[in-house]
Amino acid sequence: MKRVGVLTGGGDCPGLNSVIRAVVRFAFKEGYKVTGIKNGWKGLIEKNTVDMDLETVSGILPKGGTILGTSRTNPYKKEGDKEKVKENFKKLGLEALIAIGGEDTLGVASKLYKEGLNVVGAPKTIDNDLSCTDVTFGFDTAINIATEAIDRLHTTAESHNRIMVVEVMGRHAGWIAVEAGMAGGADVILIPEVPIDIKEVCALLKKRHARGKSFSIVVVAEGAKFKKGDIVTQEEKLDAFGHVRLGGIGHPLGDEIEKRTGYETRVTVLGHIQRGGTPTAFDRVLGTRFGIKTMDFVLKKDYGKMAALKGRKIVAVPLEDAVRETKTVDMELYNIAKIFFG
């Protein structure tokens, strides 16, 4: 029997298991065996694998995270790791490998394809910042979680007459901040694409309070930065892909708002709460469709492709194009959100 491998890399998100399940179910239907690669590219370097069958994926559809585990290991970072990936690909007898991940994971997949490996991909990131696809799975769940949090903060903000700053994920793109902020009725939304003008933010909040409103909600993406300032990070340590750990913008923003306005301000950092828990119906269905499409690539030997959502259809796009640049927030959408600021 032919054999296909599957791995999940980068940050986890709801919907990963729906892709894995779809790959395994479709592969077995077509007479393929499936090898699960544990913990992303690290598992292929170390040849850490598990045989998968229909029982392995039974009942995983509503589960968050990934049953295969994940890591941010970059096989191009350490000398010799790339060769181990290629060697183990052959030792495992893989006809093809399905990589499920975001910009970094699929960036590695694209490089390996150019170097001769039969690799295809499925787009995963709660940040929704991958090019060539309208939506990535995991994003819908994240914005629903963030929206619910904003809804809950409304009542406590109103009760205490406070400004509530809500920090959400979003390294270089503020999709979660914009869509969850709009859905949750935020009074100010701050994103990485637009440097924070703290004077303008405080003016908007004062304007709202002058109308008789004694509380406000400010949503900020973790990667947002002040004008002429550096990105606020948790620490300067870099991961294997050269990214600093983001997070922490909420607290200096809250301090600055309270100092400049005199309004009592509190900060809530949602962090990994946005990644956890059961996926929405939309993400389960989208993940399933992506999984079927990637296995279809394997059957047709159409390698070097990523499954993408275009309108309502799942299409094939080159991996190289998908990771070429970050998909930032549509400014038309952000301008609609700005109508409600203050």
- At 110-151, the pLDDT tens digits run 999 999 999 999 999 999 999 999 999 999 999 999 999 999
73-77: Cβ within 8 A, 24+ apart: 73/9, 73/39, 73/40, 73/41, 73/42, 73/45, 73/240, 74/41, 74/104, 74/108, 74/240, 74/241, 75/41, 75/44, 75/45, 75/108, 76/108, 76/111, 77/240, 77/241
Could you tell me what percentage of the chain is helix, strand and coil, using 3-state DSSP and rounding each to the nearest 5? 40, 20, 40
* Average of per-residue pLDDT values in the chain: 93
Q: Tell me the C-alpha distance between 136 and 133, whole Å.
A: 7
Query: Helix 175-183 and helix 139-160: axis angle, to 10°?
Result: 50
> For residue 248, what pLDDT is reported?
81
> For residue 11, what pLDDT is reported?
87
Return the H-helix or E-strand segment holding 218.
strand 216-221
pLDDT tens-digit map of 323-336? 999 999 999 999 99
> For residue 304, what pLDDT is reported?
97
- Lowest-pLDDT choice from 12-16, 20-24, 243-247, 261-265: 243-247
CB 2 within 8 A of CB 295: no
Classify residue 56 by its DSSP letter: T
pLDDT tens-digit map of 160-214? 989 999 999 998 999 999 999 999 999 999 999 999 999 999 999 999 999 999 9
pLDDT above 70 as % of the chain: 94
Active site amino acids: 127
Residue 242 above 90 pLDDT? no
Fold type of domain 2-137+279-322: Rossmann fold (3.40.50)
* Cα dihedral 172, 122, 273, 45 sign: negative
318 token code pair = 């080159």
Domain ranges for the chain:
2-137+279-322, 139-275
Pairing, β 119-123 against β 96-101: parallel
Q: Tell me the C-alpha distance between 303 and 306, whole Å.
A: 9
* Cα dihedral 141, 146, 151, 153 sign: positive
Q: Tell me the C-alpha distance between 200 and 206, whole Å.
A: 10
pLDDT grade for 236, boundaries at 50, 70 and 90: low
Biggest alpha carbon–alpha carbon distance for the chain: 72
Classify residue 73 by its DSSP letter: -
CB 102 within 8 A of CB 275: no
> For residue 240, what pLDDT is reported?
57
- Architecture (CATH level 2) of domain 139-275: 3-Layer(aba) Sandwich (3.40)
6 token code pair = 């599957």
